[in-house]
Amino acid sequence: MKLFLYVLACLFSVTNIFAQKNAGSITLLDKKWEETDSEKKAKYFIHKYRVNDTTWLFDYYNFKGPKIRQESYRDAAGKKPNGFYAYYNEEGVLDSCGNIFGNLKSDTWTYFKGETWKDVAYKTFENGVLVKVETKPDTSVTKLNVELESSFPGGQRGWQQFLGKNLRYPDRAVDLRISGNVIVMFIVNQQGKINEPMISKSVEYSLDEETLRIITISPDWEPAVMNGRNVNSYKRQPITFKLTRG
């Protein structure tokens, strides 16, 4: 669980196209990263929302594509960095993440290699200064040493039935003709509850949001079992969005 614990250590729309999300605010940005009121000129956007009394999250997205980064601030203006930051590559795959306090990297940052995260680098910072680097394959993204892995009740058939009844194809993604595979990562705790879902492979804003919604409303999972006891386990679950012709 080392990787996932590092990843999760800290953790209203202005136009109709963003109606899928009804919390926070959307700021459109042109190709020069300057604010614009025109969707036709928008190249990027920021979704800003408050999660508690001391934390605001800023999600940066390509207007028609995957997530770029997530930033944490103490203030709505985004002037006081404080907490978890995550960066994604051009394909929308989580590239690196860690904490920033007072504009300085802090604690252990995780750097991933490729979509499968075969190799992982851990870099430890103290007051913004790199003090330690460790690179090695990470077993937590392959297979845990458990007797039974955590699973959705009813297995793959149960999962597909659940998606068939609950998954919605967001209007925004339909309008933009966007499809793809979103991957969400999370922990299934000893009681089968879903904890700390986070997008590890982004496709597009509304598809990412729908993926998080689905995981959040899913029933309790069957927890992993080790040495005859339920244990917390790490999961990476893909959800496929495919447009049909018509």
pLDDT digits (tens, 9 = 90+) for 99-113: 999 899 999 998 887
Residue 154 structure tokens: 């009813």
Is pLDDT above 70 for 55? yes
Give CA–CA dist 170/182, Å, rounded.
13
With pLDDT > 90 as the criterion, what percentage of the chain qualifies? Answer: 70
Spatial CB neighbours of 157, under 8 Å, sequence gap ≥ 6: none
**Contact by Cβ (8 Å): 54, 74:** yes
Task: Report the pLDDT value the prediction gives residue 146, as an integer from 0 to 100.
Answer: 66
Is pLDDT above 70 for 19? no
Give CA–CA dist 58/151, Å, rounded.
32
Cβ neighbours around 76 below 10 Å, total = 13
In sequence order, the β-bridge partners of residue 124 are 108, 132
Task: Report the pLDDT value the prediction gives residue 8, as an integer from 0 to 100.
Answer: 42
pLDDT in tens, 169-211: 999 999 999 999 999 999 999 999 999 899 999 999 999 999 9
- The residue ranking higher by pLDDT, 186 or 140, is 186
* Mean pLDDT of the region 28-55: 94
Residue type, 97: C
**Contact by Cβ (8 Å): 176, 20:** no
Task: Report the pLDDT value the prediction gives residue 239, as an integer from 0 to 100.
Answer: 96
Task: Report the pLDDT value the prediction gives residue 145, as an integer from 0 to 100.
Answer: 62
**Contact by Cβ (8 Å): 133, 149:** no
> Quick one: CA dihedral 184, 238, 221, 233, positive or negative?
negative
Residue 2 structure tokens: 């080392």
Rounded to 5 degrees, φ, ψ at 227 are 55, 35
Task: Report the pLDDT value the prediction gives residue 15, as an integer from 0 to 100.
Answer: 32
- The residue ranking higher by pLDDT, 44 or 232, is 44
Helix H segments across 167-204? 171-176
Task: Report the pLDDT value the prediction gives residue 144, as an integer from 0 to 100.
Answer: 52
Give CA–CA dist 242/179, Å, rounded.
5
Q: What is the pTM of this model?
A: 0.85
Indicate the domain borders of the chain: 2-141, 155-241
pLDDT in tens, 124-137: 999 899 999 988 65
**Contact by Cβ (8 Å): 160, 167:** no
Is pLDDT above 80 for 2? no
DSSP code of 218? S
Provide the CATH number for the domain formed by 155-241 in this structure.
3.30.1150
Task: Report the pLDDT value the prediction gives residue 1, as an integer from 0 to 100.
Answer: 44
Is pLDDT above 60 for 138? no
* Mean pLDDT of the region 4-11: 41
Give CA–CA dist 236/200, Å, rounded.
8
Three-class secondary structure of residue 165 per DSSP: helix
Per-residue pLDDT band at 246 (split at 50, 70, 90): low
Rounded to 5 degrees, φ, ψ at 186 are -165, 170
In sequence order, the β-bridge partners of residue 61 are 45, 67
Reference 86, options 228, 236, 201; nearest CA is: 201
Is pLDDT above 90 for 38? yes
